[in-house]
Amino acid sequence: MSLLSVQNLSVRRGARLTLDRASFSVEPGEFVGLIGPNGAGKSTLLRAALGLIPAEGDSSLARLSPAARAKAAAWLPQAREIAWPVSVVHLVSLAQNERQDATEVIAALTRMDLMTYAERPATRLSGGEQARVLIARALAQDTPLLLADEPTAGLDPAHQIGTMQTFAALAAEGRGVITSLHDLGLAARHCTRLIVMSEGRIVADGAPRAVLTEALLAEVFAIRCHLSETPEGLVVQPLAQIVPGAQHG
Ligand SMILES: Nc1ncnc2c1ncn2[C@@H]1O[C@H](COP(=O)(O)OP(=O)(O)OP(=O)(O)O)[C@@H](O)[C@H]1O
């Protein structure tokens, strides 16, 4: 059974459709990267799928009660600032609702490389460390599905790769992960599937190698990229902006 099923989901803001009839599902074992330029509708899609903003169409998660939804899916929003001066370990354990499982909390802290900060007030950490605490909190919720809005933003390269590997491991355990990303290289190497958005619409959906073509990168992102196969997987390196009307040679 799908972990998330979205049918013809649309979000209207004033006269504009910022999400235009999106349909897709996420199955156990999938690590889905949601990519697209600024304003393409990635956050809108994730928020509408969760039922956090008014939408037309159907989402299996949005139909659930808040309590049932918290058991079905963890949500990592884009805003990362922590306002509560509680310890890191306490903040991460708050994710666990009524069930308390210290092993899950320790596993989440370990996965996000936070054990040395466990007793420190979460407000006394750097921006990237706070971002990792919030990812750990989402992991400790121990749900079949994780939705994350730009989880690697603000992380150093080692922790970006570590986070992507953690999400890939969750998918390999049979969970589902869907996350918006701007780093096409990380998306190409770690995700099992990419959904590409442009101007509120899903314009491509498939395996990274099938989706990340020179033509799509030019049309959707207006960039020229170096694409190459390496022993580590597909490498995507943006090289230049494509300026409309400019000569390329
Ligand atoms: N609260 C809002 N009110 C009106 N329009 C909004 C609001 N939030 C977002 N939008 C518009 O909806 C569109 C989609 O925004 P969204 O945040 O989903 O894009 P995104 O793909 O997540 O972008 P980014 O990569 O910049 O985070 C944009 O045109 C944006 O200006």
Q: How far is the CA of 41 from the centre of ligand 1 (A)?
A: 6
In a domain, 55, yes or no: yes
In a domain, 118, yes or no: yes
Report the chain's terminal Cα–Cα distance, integer Å. Answer: 50
Q: How many helices (H) and strands (E) does the chain have?
A: 9, 11
Express each pLDDT in 105-153 by its tens digit.
Answer: 999 999 999 999 999 999 999 999 999 999 999 999 999 999 999 999 9
- Determine which of 16-30, 88-102, 109-123, 128-142 has the lowest per-residue pLDDT on average: 88-102
Determine which residue's CA is closest to atom 1 belonging to ligand 1: 13
Domain that holds residue 87: 4-241
In a domain, 249, yes or no: no
Give the residue-averaged pLDDT of 229-247.
Answer: 87
Q: How far is the CA of 40 from the centre of ligand 1 (A)?
A: 7
In a domain, 19, yes or no: yes
Rounded to two decimals, the pTM is 0.93
> CA-CA distance, 81 to 126, in Å (whole number)?
10
pLDDT-based confidence at residue 99 (cuts at 50, 70, 90): low
pLDDT-based confidence at residue 243 (cuts at 50, 70, 90): confident
> CA-CA distance, 87 to 102, in Å (whole number)?
15
CB under 6 Å to ligand 1: residues? 13, 18, 36, 38-44
Helix (H, G, I), strand (E, B) or coil at 201: strand
- CATH number for the domain including 12? 3.40.50.300
Helix (H, G, I), strand (E, B) or coil at 153: coil
In a domain, 246, yes or no: no
> CA-CA distance, 179 to 196, in Å (whole number)?
12
> How many structural domains does the chain have?
1
Determine which residue's CA is closest to atom 7 belonging to ligand 1: 13
Q: How many CB atoms lie under 10 A from the CB of residue 241?
A: 10
